[in-house]
Amino acid sequence: MEALFLLGVTLFYRGDFVGAVAQYEKALSRYDDRERTRLWASRVGEDAGVTHRCYLALALWHLGYPDQALRASQETRKLALSIGHPFSLAYAQHHVSWLYHNLRLPAETKAASEEGMQTAAAQGFAMFHATGTLYRAAGVLLEGRPNEALPLLTRGLEAYRATGAGLALPYYLSTVGDAYIQVDRLDDAREALDEGLAIAEQSDELCQKAELYRLKGELALRTGSQNGNAEQYFRRAIGTARDQLSKAWELRATTSLARLYLQTGRRDEARQRLSDSYGRFTEGLDTPD
């Protein structure tokens, strides 16, 4: 379980979501024994039954299975509540919040983040308290209140960096950049998104790269750049998502590109591109994306 998780989580952050799912499913189908995972949790600090399910849910979302992702996440939360291991509970609450944010469900994102912050505060888990703040802010941002979200986002990001943690910084920076775009602080948005892309390139943490490119396209539209600049970023986001087989990021980037095409009179092309991307989904058709 532990060996397969280390391989799976590495593949996930590098953007190989198919490879990651293969490791998680192998581990859960062959080796998910409650007694053994409890023993190993006492050695390594976290329960592998929880950690595998956390990232399985996120990878399934990327691959275009949001309903399956949600079921896996709910199973993770139920398991984490049952095993009496506080760090694994905080770990699960962190990842449940992450999935809800990806699903663009604001109330659920906020509720999960507040649960996580309570656990983190009670146990002294500074990193998870910081990420809980980030997720709560992300929920507020999803509600269309960027001016309220931004101070929470910057405070959470500062607290996260203060722990010495660096994993998932491209993800958090993309959310911060999104908020800056929405309040028209465009130089700050550019700085956040460029830092996220630079970290992704340096660390090979590529799972957020497509969304960072999409947001660079949205920023280009706000700055009054020629539409060709925005289109270039949207196309780069789509290409990255396709390379990673992330239907979720591809749909989101294609939606941004289709909006641009509508604004420039390319209605038929917009419809065709969006239909092609949307048509590859077989579930989750009532989710916001």
Mean pLDDT of the chain: 97
Looking up tokens 């789509």 gives 238
Q: Which of 119, 111, 151, 159 is nearest to 135 (CA)?
A: 111
Nearest to 252 by CA among 225, 227, 277: 277
190-232 pLDDT, tens digit per residue, is 999 999 999 999 999 999 999 999 999 999 999 986 667 999 9
For 67, the token pair is: 């309903």
Spatial separation of the C-alpha atoms in residues 194 and 198, rounded to whole Å: 6
- CA-to-CA distance for 103 and 168, rounded, in angstroms? 17
* Cβ-proximal residues to 117 (8 Å cutoff; 6+ apart), any chain: 128, 129, 132, 133, 136
CA 39 – CA 156 distance, rounded (Å): 33
Phi, psi of 243 (to 5 degrees): -60, -35
Contacts of 210 (CB under 8 A, 6+ apart): 237, 238, 240, 241, 244, 246, 249, 250, 253
Best CATH choice for the domain 1-85 from the list 2.40.128, 2.60.40, 2.60.120, 1.25.40: 1.25.40
Q: What is the pLDDT of residue 233?
A: 97
**Cα torsion for 154, 12, 78, 149, to the nearest 10°?**
20
Residues 152, 140: contact at Cβ < 8 Å?
yes
Dihedral (CA of 34, 56, 14, 156) sign:
negative
Rounded Cα–Cα distance for residues 170 and 222 (Å):
21
- Identify each DSSP E strand in the chain by its residue range: none
- Identify the CA nearest to 89 among candidates 53, 50, 127, 121: 50
pTM exceeds 0.85 for this model: yes
The whole-angstrom separation of Cα 37 and Cα 53 is 13
What tens digit of pLDDT does each residue of 81-116 get? 999 999 999 999 999 999 999 999 999 999 999 999
| Angle formed at CA 259 by CA 255 and CA 265, multiple of 5 degrees | 140
Question: Above pLDDT 70, what percent of the chain?
Answer: 99
How far, in Å, CA of 158 to CA of 224, rounded? Answer: 30
Burial class (CB in 10 A: 0-12, 13-18, 19+), 44: exposed
What is the average per-residue pLDDT within 239-262? 98
Mean predicted confidence (pLDDT) in 17-30: 98
Identify the DSSP state of 162.
H
| Spans of all domains in the chain | 1-85
Where does the pLDDT of residue 184 fall: very low under 50, low under 70, confident under 90, or very high at 90 and above? very high
